[in-house]
Chains A and B, each alone.
Chain A
């Protein structure tokens, strides 16, 4: 079963697995599963403002999936788009937070674009299961945001 820190870390890694699924058009099922669906959950992304409460948080992830439905750069690749690095977790009772660095590489038609953002995630143990209740990532640099915006407007990567 592992230590409490390991269990909390596992929940955070599951979140990034769900994010990889979302980015690769494999659905938002994993994302819905790892999040607590409460009014107090919050999230902010590399290209967004705060979403507060599960309804808004879910809308953000659904739109993220819609945005990346146009991304085809990984269709023939086996490497992951991104992942969390240097994850450090601290547990306090039924809550834990993890800090790390999310690194990703997208292959666009005019070349690869890299992202490196600091992230904080908070998980809450509810009825014995660790659920994500907060996610925050730094804002992406304007060039990265612009490249994603162009992809959405063009309808392809």
Chain B
């Protein structure tokens, strides 16, 4: 089990936060929502590299940002940490779910800036990844 040692965790509040969870063999699902304040940003920046490190070489990362609002500069940098973390994992597949068009554009821009945009598939429906 690639995530045998991985404990699902939730950080933040209904106003903004994130949750890591394994959604099946080789799948790391990160659900992010709302607008992130400082404490959430700090926690995400600290946990993102470690979480990616637990992903199997041929695993799949699903970023469910369907309830995420466009973020400020600090949160964007924390998300860049996650996206840059994909660079050495060339075989990892990644999918981003975003419904808010401006959020989707922000994530697309961050992915492009991190040089991993070509490896990430976008979707706008959470159910499309439920089986992933």
Check: B43 CB closer than 8 A to any chain A CB: no
Give per-residue flags for B26-37: 1 if the beta carbon is below 8 A from chain A beta carbons, else 0: 000000000100
Check: A113 CB closer than 8 A to any chain B CB: no
A49 and B67 alpha carbons, distance in the complex (Å): 10
Check: A63 CB closer than 8 A to any chain B CB: yes
Please give the residue numbers on chain B whose beta carbons come within 8 Å of chain A beta carbons, in ascending order: 35, 69-73, 100-106, 108-109, 112, 117
Given the known interface contacts A49-B100, A149-B101, A153-B117, the answer about A63 and B106 at a Cβ–Cβ threshold of 8 Å is yes
Given the known interface contacts A48-B100, A56-B35, A153-B112, the answer about A148 and B105 at a Cβ–Cβ threshold of 8 Å is yes
Shortest CB-to-CB span from A67 to chain B, Å, is: 5
A39 and B76 alpha carbons, distance in the complex (Å): 22
When distances are taken between beta carbons in the complex, the residues of chain A under 8 Å from B109 are 66-67, 152
Residue in A closest to B100 when the chains form the complex, CB atoms: A49
When distances are taken between beta carbons in the complex, the residues of chain B under 8 Å from A66 are 106, 109
Q: List 13 A-B contacts (CB under 8 A).
A: A51-B69, A56-B35, A59-B35, A59-B69, A59-B70, A59-B71, A59-B72, A60-B70, A63-B102, A67-B109, A148-B105, A149-B104, A149-B105
